[in-house]
Amino acid sequence: MSVFNQSFVAAICAFFLLISSVLVPGVSAQNLPTGQCVTEFKAGNDYFTDKVTVETATLFSVEYFNHYKLVTNTKTKEVFGLYQCGTINDLPANVKPFPISVNSVAVTDTSSSAFLDMLGLRSVIKVLGSADLISSPCLQYAKDTGEITILSTNETLNEITLGKVDLIFGATDAATDQKSVSVSTANDPGVLNRVEWIKFYSVFFNAESKANEVYGKIKSNYECFKNLVVKNTLAEKPVVAWVAYEAPSEFNQNTAAYKIADAMFKKQLTEDAGGIYFNSTTLSYSILGDFLKVIENVDILIDETFIAPTLDDVYKNFELTPDQQKYKFLKNQAIYREDGLTGPNDGRDWFENAVVMGDALLEDMINVVNPKLPKPDYQRIWLRNVAKNEPIKISSSNNCSDINQPSFSKADDCSALPPVSVKGDGSISSTPTFFSYLIAFVFSILLPIFQ
């Protein structure tokens, strides 16, 4: 056979191979429509060609086999066996079995709803633990229209309601409940650790490809914002303290407590935003004077007291007055709260979308540390400056523009932001762009002509 004929035959074979790869569907169960099962089980097939790899999170793991997955919550020690429906259930012993993909869920942890929302799986949520805690406008709409049921105080009725769903996300103390799936998102220490839990949720729905896409974009954007801060580091980094007041109650021996947070994700968030995370060897004080003395030189205060929506409430809780200028956070008018976006009944979006939207969370924090960044007109989402009487934004069902569209991160595209250079004193100097150089060049040519 001539060289020409050999090349021709090779080209024809390649062509038909390409055509067959396009026209003949793969065996992956991840190509099936939601709820559809494999119709012809073949033991040797890999039904999960799209896989997740855990990069940052520390409290869950995923292991793939041909027709099932083992998902482990390493904090609660629960192992979930997810076998593709239409195949066989030959899972190892001592795992909770779930056929996939899952079609209906109950959510008792508010952040779980945000992860499902980002995956485009809002419609599988059929039951919510509480209507008051939800800030998502489209979930509020689904609740108002009866598409979602809210659990009540009637345990018998709740048992019937939960019996109709495939699984329950959020239960952390129900290891014997075969429908419960414990989640430990809030316990994973870093910002991106928490974001990566979107991969945990995805495996129950064969939505690994979407999870990889969402996590990849948020991580890349987060790293871009970190670099932006590094390029515009303030000469004197502000000290940021995360604090809370606990009123006297039966849970603290009827003694008021003043707390300083010691959470890894808050430390990481503060430092990635260009601030200094305030910590103390003592994290809880029963004597207010001791507490105030410790935080006297803090530049920025983030008050995590759950019920204290006004500046007067903050003053009252910590026995402060506006004229106490020795406290730097008062002098700076820098007291922030996490209630910038809530539902109608004070359901905090901080515990919902702020968990999965790590890049937007960092963008908010950057603006707290340096109000000139990431751009001069930036509007914070969650962190509200109560010292400057910034209003609370209310999210209601009226804000649901499309019930069928997934949610997406509220962060700006960091790479598309106009270049801004912040001087050491915090003032802005514009960074020259290509167009500014071009205008200057043209002007230098034309000016002598008209003189």
Alpha helices in 250-339 (DSSP H): 264-272, 288-294, 311-318, 328-331
HSE toward the beta carbon, residue 127, CA cutoff 13 A: 22
- Cβ atoms of 329 and 344 within 8 Å: the answer is no
In the chain, what is the straight-line distance between the N-terminal and C-terminal CA atoms, in Å?
78
Give the three-state DSSP class for 150. strand
Q: Do 83 and 68 meet the contact criterion of CB atoms below 8 Å apart?
A: yes
For residue 281, give the DSSP letter.
Answer: S
| 273/362 Cα distance (integer angstroms) | 7
> What pLDDT is recorded for position 110?
87
Q: What is the C-alpha separation between 425 and 157, in angstroms, rounded?
A: 61
Residue 23's alpha-carbon distances to 19, 26, 118, 316, in angstroms, are 6, 9, 30, 69
Name the percent of the chain lying above pLDDT 70: 85
Q: What confidence score (pLDDT) does residue 103 get? A: 94
- For 52-93, how does the pLDDT look when each residue is reduced to its tens digit (9 = 90+)? 999 999 999 999 999 999 999 999 999 999 999 999 999 999
For residues 157-182, average pLDDT: 85
Angle (nearest 5°) at CA 182 between 181 and 183:
115
Q: Are 124 and 167 in contact (CB under 8 A)?
A: no
- Phi, psi (rounded to 5 degrees) for 256: -60, 145
Q: Which residues sit opposite 181 in a β-bridge?
A: 169
Cα 50 to Cα 209: distance, rounded to the nearest angstrom: 6
| pLDDT, averaged across the chain | 88
Q: What domains, with CATH codes, occur in the chain?
A: 1-232 (3.40.50.1980), 233-430 (no CATH)
Tell whether the model's pLDDT for residue 25 goes beyond 60.
Answer: no
CA neighbor of 338 nearest in space, from 316, 368, 372:
368
Q: What predicted TM-score, i.e. pTM, was given to this entire model?
A: 0.87
Per-residue pLDDT at 437 exceeds 70: no
